[in-house]
Each structure stands twice: as structure tokens, then as C-alpha cells.
Structure 1
Amino acid sequence: MRRREFLASTAAASLAAVQSSAYATASDSAIRVGLIGSGWYGKTDLFHLIQVAPVEVVGICDVDSKMAEEAAQLVSKRHPSGNVPPTYGKHEDLLSKHKPDVVLIGTPDHWHCLPMIDACRAGADVYVQKPISWDVAEGEAMVAAARKYNRTVQVGLQRRSTPHLLQARDRFIRSGKLGKIAYVDVHAYGGGPRDFPATQAPPENLDWDRYVGPAPWRDYNPGIHPRRWRACGEFSNGKTGDLCVHFLDVVRYFLDLGMPKTIAATGGRYMLPPDSNVNLHDTQNALFDFGDVQVAWNQRNWGTNPEPDYSWGATLYGDKGTLKLSVRSYDFIPKGRGQAEHGDWVDESEQYPEDQQHKETEMFAAPATRRHMQDFVEARREGLRPVADIAEGHASTACCLLANLSMHLGRSLAWDADAGRVIDDDEANLQLARPYRGDWEHPTAHDV
């Protein structure tokens, strides 16, 4: 059997198991779901959950009322009841009025923490997008809330559930074919943001004050919402929090790594013009020292791409070969003589034609997200920790946030994982929590 055929057959068997497991519970009452953040990935995650479990969407929350209503109309065509779910501008109203079983959070990064903690308090299990938080202290509070209220919390780090990546792990890492692994390069090349247009008054359908929320104030401009907030340092940690976290996380998962001993990063705005209103770095090099394994992160939003087939991914170097991973493929190159091996992502578009109807679906990620959602559903049913439990999401997120902090401070950071503190660096520790704006209160692990 050819490699592609083997991968497809394996995925088909896995998919059948997913569907069988999910719909075996169809006689049970539907999972009552609330969606907070109804943009690109909020809807995408919800639609994939609907594909693998019986769901009734009881409410949708978004600071953009037009976006929320559009999402409600789409959902009415997807979930079995056909009802148009009510919409809300504040997540507190959705939680208090409907008390959902599950809450999906697909907001910008600075709005992950507060709704997640509130959902746990309200008795809901949560699927929250990555990175889990804007700062390290938020992540600690989110882990504490999940444990205090005994909630199942899955993080949208679906590389842990990606069929071709799991196959690569089994074939080359677990089998020993890659040998001893001592160095990993996680990288992202290209895709630099352009400047935003001039500021202006927000449209009536958008509650901009609520959008900014606990973050430092930034005036509205039509380029930020809905899809380019990742180029705003007020709302995002840049590509480090967006792309590095995915492959750093799957490397941690595959190699069973905890937190690094030290994090050292350099970088900055090297190609953006001095007067650019994009306030995030376009270049970064970071080194995460895990002891026996060194993991590097290389970001360059400009210049020639040195890895056209692996512009975003991870390369694992072992003493017996090299393994390249991306969201679309893998390649194993053995040392010396031997046959190179290649595998591709699993295309399930024929099984799920509705994925193509939702034009924002990332087809290469859809199989992973379905399996990730099914893992979440099974974990909450069985009372187990999901594959991307909130503590794992916090660890991978914190690595990325500490890399940014190291870059800004201009020095290496030694991390005490037990204490959750930077060793002998008061200035760095003060920056583990960003002050919240106005009357918003920053949660801590002790007051959730």
C-alpha cells in the first residue's frame, strides 16, 4: 500500500470511530453550547463540534451585534433543532440566562481569560482558543479556575490531534527511527502585516469600549476588526503567541517536555517603518532550554522563505535523521543511506462538504479540530483531562509570553516552574501580569 493510501485508510478508520462514538450518544440530551466570540475561529470551532456531537446552541455572544446575528443565522442551519439562538453583547448575560453545559471561546487573545473563568464559575466546561492568555498571570488564574470548579477545559491546540502529525510521531519518534533528539527548530516565515488605516468612529453595531475591554486603550480603525487584531500589541502577542505556540506545543507533547529552564529571545521591528501603527515585532529568535533538548523559534516576516514547503512548522533533528512537520505534510530524511518518507494531511472534504460551504474553514485543519472536539467531548463525559488540558495550554502559552518578555527586557530569563516565577528578576516578575484598564480587575490564581 502506498504511503498516501495508508494514511487515508488510517484516517478513515479513525474518522469512523469518531462518528460512531459521537453519535452513539445521540439519544442523550444535546450538549447545550454557548459561543463567545463569533468571528472566524469561533464559528469554525462550533461547526466542527456540531459535526461530532449532538449540540443545541443556546446563545451567541459578540461585541459586534451584526457579526453575532450573522453567526446565529448560520448556526440555525447547522444544529439539529434549526432554532436561531439568541445573541448577547456581554458574556455574563449569556452565562446567567442559559447556563450552558459547554462554552466555546473564540475571542481575541486579551478576552480569553475573563470569560473562561466566568464560564467555569457558572458550571460550564470550556473550549478556549490559544494562546490561552495575554499574560502569564492570566494563564495561572485560568488553570486555578478549572481545578477549583472541577471543569474540563480543552485548549485549541489541535496539532495534538492532527492525523498526519500523530502518524509521523509514531513512525519516526516513538519507533526510534529518528534516534536521540537534541535540537528542534520551530519557525514561521513571511506574512508580515501592513499598516492600519486612519482611526475613526466605530460603527454602531460594534461596542468598541467592550472590545478593548481590560487591554490598554487603542482607538478604533476599520482594519483591526474582525481579522487583523493580531497586529495590535494591545490584543495579541504577535506571531509568537499565534504560530509559535502551535508547534512548540506539539513538540512538547511529542517529546514529553515540561517547562524550559531558561528562555532567551532577541528581535524587534526591523523592517516595519518607524512611523508604522503596527506595534509588534516582525523578527524574533528565541531559544528554549529544556535541558537535554534545545528548542529554537525563528520568526521572520520578510525576505526570502528558506523553507517553501515548510514555511510554518517544526524540524526535529535526531542522530539518525531529520523530521520536518507542517500543518500540511511531513518529511523524514534519514542520516546516510535509507529511504526518505513523506506524508500528507488528511483531506475529509468529501465526507464533510459543509466545510466548503463555510468559506473560512481551514480544510487542512478541519480533521484535527474534529478529533480535538471529540477528545473534549469524551473527556468531559468520562471525567478525564483532555489531550490539550488547560495546564498544557498554559505551559505552551507561557513559554511564548516569556520569549516576548525576554526580548523586551534584553536578557535571558531563568524560570522556576514550581513557583511560576522568573528566578532573581523582580522587574521580569512584575511584568507577568499586565495592569488592566479602568475598573476591570485582573484575576489571580488565588481569587478565582
Structure 2
Amino acid sequence: MSLSQAKVLIMDDDVDVLSAAKLLLKRHVKQVDIEKNPEKLPFLITNGQYDLVLLDMNFTRDVSSGREGFQWLDRILDIDPKLTVIMITAYGDVEMAVRAIKAGATDFVLKPWENDKLLDTLQAGLASKKEATGAEKTETKKTTDTSIVGSSGAMQQVMATVERVAPTDANVLILGENGTGKTQLARHLHQLSDRSTKPFVVVDLGALSENLFESELFGHVKGAFTDARDDRAGRFEEAQGGTIFLDEIGNLPLPLQSKLLTVLQERRVTRVGSNKPIPIDVRLVCATNHEIDKMVADRVFRQDLLYRINTIELNLPPLRDRPEDIEPLAEHYLKQFRKKYNRPVASLSAALIKKMEQYNWPGNIRELQHAIERAVILSQSKALQPEDLFLKSNGPEPAAATGFDLEEMEKDLIVKAMKRFGGNITDAARELGLSRAALYRRMEKYGL
């Protein structure tokens, strides 16, 4: 795509930066919008049909960690994985740039920028994203089930049910702990269905504020509220003819459950600010990590809504209950990450496999994926060893634990690199993708 045809959104908490960027870009792009409040990102990304987002790394005064930027980057790519996102910050270094790109950003620029260089970066970002998207589409046509790995009896039973119900329009509810692969299973169900050539639209209900719920799902008309400058289709309309996946439906407050139920019963939506109903034809798939039957018994989830969404119920077992899937999953991610990072590691040692099978994986497949990725990045050998894998203690902790302490992970990586290179700062910094000064700062921060 040419930069002159692109629609660009700039998200930064500094109004001077927003003004300067808009002044520059409005002469070079089709449309440029600016916004300082990141909470509006989900709504804007969903309804703005942007080709590129310039995203600030930090939205809190005196904060330079970039953590907020990474959180919002994840939200953007959850909504639209094909969107070109370029991170901007005044506090950049090599480590942050690498992290941003690994997290899905297309590129990274520092403030204050050089105008010509910024324009070149935007054009290159659009071009590279287009190439990547084309490759993804080609691969998707070749195979539809690469995201589902597992030969255990429990998974075979789930997949057999999926194959039976996929050709139908039955509503499906996927239950399982966080990290068990509910989104991947929903996408696989869609790919096997007769609607596979139509849209697959993901809505994270857990991240959706009550104020934006109706506009996000049902759309709005121009003038319906402040900032409603155009008519916008909601997620149900976007999924017309295809599948809509409502993730974390257990987090939906009761008043919003009632509104959703009405739409599902009537099979039509009415945009905010309009009185004209629009018929919808979608396949409904929902997911939650909550004990939904208990929620009904506690009167925090409507029983009539549960009846509506779970014509077919799929239960994804946690990884600790299917240890025979651990090795094939690890090999799947090993192949994926050795190619992505061009690393020499090619296999899993027997000792490592034993260690993984003895671990309870509280974060499930997502934790396994992160663990293999870290190991592949740091390992210098051709086979991953037990010491390459950083795992939490197998002591008592909630089975559905899902949090990852990024600072603790970073500290572990630094300790491992320093140990591998015998305390050599230069070699350790190079391995971690940091400058020597950045590594010294982190070592001081963690008391190393």
C-alpha cells in the first residue's frame, strides 16, 4: 500500500507531539486522526478502519518502562492482527526496540524524529505488513489446523466433537482455564465450517467497558454521541455471514447480558442513535474461564443466556491433565521460534522433556509457549537442556494462575546470560540485545 492511500491513527499523551505529527502527515496520507486517551483505542481501531497506528510507549508521567505501550500493542493486535503498528518513544534503546518487534510491532522510532526518516519508516512498515499478510493468507489456504496440537485422548475427544459440529450453525461455548487455547479452537472451528470464507471476528468482552459495549458490538450512527463523526458498523455486522467469537463472556455484567440476549434472540442489531434494526447472520462461539454453572446458581449470569450460547459445550482440559501433549507442543513451538529468531537449536533433550512433563504448567499452553521462546532465544546449543527452561516452582499455587511477572522474567534472563558468559558484560549484553549501559542499569535495578 502507498503511504498516500493510508489511514493513520496517532496515539500519544503529548498534545504537542500529536499536533506536530498530524501537521506532517496530513500532507502525505489519505487520513490522519489523533488521540491522547489510550482507553479509546479499542473503539477507534474497531471502527476507524486504519492501515497504520503510531503508538506511544508511555502514557503515565515520569514512566519510561514502555509497559503501557506493550499492553496497548497487545490490545490492538488482538482486535486486528494485520494492522501495522509503529511504536514511538523518547526513552528508546535497543532492548525496547527488540521487545516491541517481538511483541508484534512493525517498527520503532524515537522522539524527536526526523521527518523524512519517519515517512520512510511508515512506508516501509506498510509494505512489510502487506507482504507478511500475503504470506499468512497463502499458508492459511494450505492448512487449516496448524494451531491445534495434541494427540491425547482428551484432545482427540474435543477435536472429534469440533469436526461433527463445525458444519452446523450450532452455538458453541468453549470452557477452559486461561492459556488452554480457547481462541485457537474457536478459529479452528470457524475454518472447518461452511462459513470459513467469511469473517472471523473476535471480541474480548473482558476488556470492553460498559460505555462502549453497544457501540462496539452493535455500531452507531453519526451524531449518536460525542466523537461519533461517521456511521460505524458494530462487530456483529462485521461478522455478517461468518463467525463472531465472544471471548470472556463470563465477565459480562448482568445489564449487558440482557442486551446481548435480546440481539441473539431477535437476530438483529440496532445501531446506537438509530431505530432501524439490521438483520444479522452469524455463527456464535463464546468462551470463558469461569465456572459458568456456578455463576448461574449465584445469579450473576443469566440462565436464559447460557441456554442460548451453549447448544454445544466444549471443555478444553488444562495442560497438566494431558502430559502426553507437552512434548509435541514444545516441538511445535521450537520449530516456530528457531525459524523466527534464526537460532541453532533444533531439538529437545530427553532430560528437558522429563522436566517439562513433571511440571504442572499453571499458565497452560501459553506458559509453555513463552518458556520455549525464551529458551530458544538464549540457548547456544543444538538441543535445549533443562537449565535452558525457566519454570516457576511446582509448589502450591492456583491451578488457573495466569500472570507472568515480566520483571522477574527479565531478571532470570540476565542471570542466565551472565552465568553463561562467565560475568562478561559485553558478551551478555550482546546476547540479550542490550547496550552495555542498559545491562548495567538493569543489573543495578535487580541488585545483581
TM score, norm. by length of structure 2? 0.25
Rg larger in structure: 2
Q: Which has the higher contact order (CA 8 A, sep 6+)?
A: 1
Higher fraction of strand: 1
TM-score, scaled relative to structure 1: 0.25
